[in-house]
Amino acid sequence: MTSCAQSRAQYLEPHSDLSQRRLLCWESPIWSALLALAVYSLLASTRALPWAVSSSPYYNYLADALLHGQVNLRLVPPITHDLIAFDGQYYLYWPPFPAALLLPFVAVFGVDFSDIAFTLGVAALNVALVALVLREACARSLIHLSPRRRALLVLFFALGTVHVTLAPLGAGMVHRPTGCLCLCRFGLPRSY
Amino acid sequence: MAGALLTRSHVLFAGIWPAWYLLASHRNLGWRHLLRYSLLGVLPVAVAGSLLAAYNSHRFGGMLDFGLDYHLMDEVFAADYARFGAFSLHYVASNAYYQLLAYPFASPTFGNPVMMGGSLFLLSPVFFAAFWAVARSRPRANALLLVATIVCTDIPILLLMGTGWVHFGPRYTLDFTVPLLLLTALGLEHWSARTVRWLTEISLAHYICGAIVLAQILDRGCANVEMVQVMAPEQDCPYAHKAEPWSSHSRIVAALACLPPGTKILDVGTATGTLGQALSGRGFLLHGIEPNPSWARVARAYYAELDCCTLDGAPENRLSGHDAVACADVLEHLADPEKSLRRLVNLEPVGCRFVISVPNVANVWVRLNLLLGRFDYGKRGILDGTHLRFFTRASLLRLVAAVGLQVAAFSATPVPLHLAYPRHKRRPSEQNVRHEPGSRDRGLAHVAWLSVCRASRQERVRRWESERRYR
């Protein structure tokens, strides 16, 4: 705790102006998640409301099927492109973990639950996890970056990679790095 | 990692570096403890793998079968899939190009801007720091293990069919973004603060602009994240609307237009929705089926519901409960039209009206050509290259009777001379040839271009009468 606080204090002294402080918000997991969520929501709202349903909410339909004890879709989505049509039934060829995460939401709100809002939340969580992983890696001396550089790297991940174009679309791909980030986050021993 | 395995199986490889790091940082515990912890760590992954195997086995009968053989994929992919399968070295070059080299300029293709992925390093130049990490970071084992993790995760992506696709940015690289980000963090130690800031700003500018442009493209309906549009669907589709009053489309529309508003009509094989467009505004509840995704996307505007699937692949609950069914020039495209039509008829309620049109292979033009030794397929017409089965008047009526339909009216359309001679106009008296179901006019079999049959599902006892009638 002390080592990181010292490095942060050392770093802050020569760059104490407002823009530097704003940038350092991205180094904080909570602030980075909130900022990323705001930007992603803004980008999502250029197409549809962030609480709308995407054009292909397939995992919602799979979650609905799982809730009814079946692995084939109980309801047919508005678009069937990319689904599996086998033996008169529709299936998803992707493994079902994202649908398992959606189960409680679909149980309460039905298949019209906003997968875009859910994806925005997962995307913001990813950004927070990146900030946490970089902090932990720094504390474990795996990497040697100042808080400002870590903030830039988190900002880069949030808004300078393909993550930013996928998150506002409600694309299920955003779930993919979450598992790896969780492993890195919880695999690295806590030092704070 | 169990969650990763149950999200996308190959993302499991992204756990190589974390697993190695955990083992390396606890090596002083002794090999027995390490083995015990490793087994405990592997256990959830093994459970997840077993669940996934059971899930697949329950669905398709094979533990490793994800059902890709029945994938409703775009035509662009279907040809490649039939030839090379889902994973092949054939895809590596194009995938690597779109993942590592291509810059996603909004290029005009058929009037629509199309973006196909994009270079990982050009769009996000901060990732160049990864090369500095490999070259300069010490100890090197960390960097090399991160590289191995990235490569192992990327190999299935490069081998997979169709990762070069309409999107801004290489979306599949998200699978190895975490190890790449850690490698980049190692490399950033060797860069100046100014370089890091500038390259971050370039990456941000790229992707914020890209996200806005992509949203605009998707809003205009020019592209879809999961679809590439090599040709505009209307240009790609040879089955345009036949507006002439004597055409089969007009005959079918006339047969259906007399139905009351609120009638549920199923259009089998909508193409780009020509029939739906002609029937719209009459208060019907239109439901369509079209296996071609790009045509279906265009047709969707004219139908209350539209399933992108084949007739045989459509679920039973989607083929039932209609008051009328239109099979406009569809049956000749099916491998086993009798089986498909029988299934459809059995699923629809008694009294459901069917309007069926098929090309007449016994047309005099085809006969003459065959007499001269020519039987050449074309892009449309009676010898359309996609026709699998051919019908005459008699064989159509036999088919209709065999599946349990009773014919109410039968008509034929004349040769569409206006296609060959645009100035040709037919007099109203010549516009169509209509016959009652029992008629045995042989002349019709020679001149008819398309046969249009109106029938309805009857009770079982009447079905046998119908079959006997046309035998």
Closest approach of chain A CAs to the CA of B242, in angstroms? 27
Between residues 121 and 180 of chain A, which touch chain B (CB distance below 8 Å)?
130, 133-134, 137, 142-145, 148-150, 152-153, 155-157, 159-166, 168-169, 171, 173-180
Report CB contact under 8 Å: B200, A82. no
Closest approach of chain B CAs to the CA of A1, in angstroms? 20
**Average pLDDT per block of 10 residues along chain A, 192 residues long:** 48 59 88 93 78 82 91 83 82 88 90 87 90 89 89 93 84 66 58 34
Asked whether the beta carbons of A164 and A158 are under 8 A apart, the reply is yes
User: Do B121 and B55 lie in a common domain?
Assistant: no
User: Do B40 and B90 lie in a common domain?
Assistant: no
DSSP H stretches of helix in A17-84: 18-24, 29-44, 58-67
The answer to whether A11 contacts chain B (CB < 8 Å) is no
From B177, B199, B230, the end of a domain falls on B230
User: Do B313 and B396 lie in a common domain?
Assistant: yes
Q: How many CB atoms lie within 10 A of CB B7?
A: 25
User: Do B326 and B252 lie in a common domain?
Assistant: yes
From B230, B260, B276, the end of a domain falls on B230
Most A CBs within 10 Å: which of B10, B20, B72, as the mutation test of the A interface?
Answer: B72
- Over residues B8-39, the pLDDT tens digits come to 888 888 888 888 888 888 878 888 888 888 88
ipTM of this complex: 0.84
Kindly report each contact of residues B257-262 with a partner whose C-beta sits within 8 Å and lies 24 or more positions away, as own/partner: B257/B282, B259/B284, B259/B323, B259/B324, B259/B353
* Average confidence (pLDDT) over B393-399: 86
- In a domain, residue B237? The reply is no
* Average confidence (pLDDT) over B383-401: 85
- In a domain, residue B164? The reply is yes
- In a domain, residue B321? The reply is yes
Residue type, B302: Y
* Average confidence (pLDDT) over B293-312: 84
Record the pTM: 0.61
User: Do B42 and B81 lie in a common domain?
Assistant: no
- In a domain, residue B207? The reply is yes
Higher local confidence (pLDDT), B222 or A164: A164
SS3 content of chain A, % helix, strand, coil (to 5): 65, 5, 30
Proportion of chain B above pLDDT 90, given as a percent: 11
Quote the radius of gyration of chain A (alpha carbons, Å): 20
The residue behind tokens 């079902």 is A96
Most A CBs within 10 Å: which of B178, B192, B292, B339, as the mutation test of the A interface?
Answer: B178
Closest approach of chain B CAs to the CA of A65, in angstroms? 13
The answer to whether A191 contacts chain B (CB < 8 Å) is no
CATH number of domain containing B388: 3.40.50.150
Q: With contacts defined as CB-CB under 8 Å, which chain B residues touch A173?
A: 171-172, 174
The answer to whether A88 contacts chain B (CB < 8 Å) is yes
User: Do B18 and B106 lie in a common domain?
Assistant: no
Asked whether the beta carbons of B212 and B276 are under 8 A apart, the reply is no
The kind and range of the H/E element at B37 are: helix B31-60
Give the SS3 label for residue B200.
Answer: helix
DSSP for A82-97, please give it. Answer: T-EEETTEEE-SS-SH
Look up the domain containing B188 and give its range.
Answer: 73-230
Query: Helix B177-188 and helix B140-159: axis angle, to 10°?
Result: 140
User: Do B28 and B118 lie in a common domain?
Assistant: no
Domain count of chain B?
Answer: 3
Least confident among A91-95, A143-147, B69-73, B417-421:
B417-421
The residue behind tokens 């040809």 is B79
- pLDDT at site B232: 34
- Over residues B90-119, the pLDDT tens digits come to 888 888 888 888 787 654 443 344 466 788
From B29, B53, B70, the end of a domain falls on B70
* Average confidence (pLDDT) over B296-312: 84
Report CB contact under 8 Å: A160, B200. yes
Q: How many CB atoms lie within 10 A of CB B398?
A: 16
The kind and range of the H/E element at B289 are: strand B285-289
- Over residues B430-468, the pLDDT tens digits come to 444 444 444 444 445 555 666 677 777 654 434 433 444
Report CB contact under 8 Å: B67, A84. yes
- Over residues B166-219, the pLDDT tens digits come to 678 888 888 888 889 999 999 998 888 889 999 999 999 988 888 887 776 665
Q: What is the four-CA torsion angle of B124, B15, B10, B37, rounded to 10 degrees?
A: -170
The residue behind tokens 């570096």 is B17
User: Do B108 and B198 lie in a common domain?
Assistant: yes
- pLDDT at site A12: 46
- pLDDT at site A162: 87
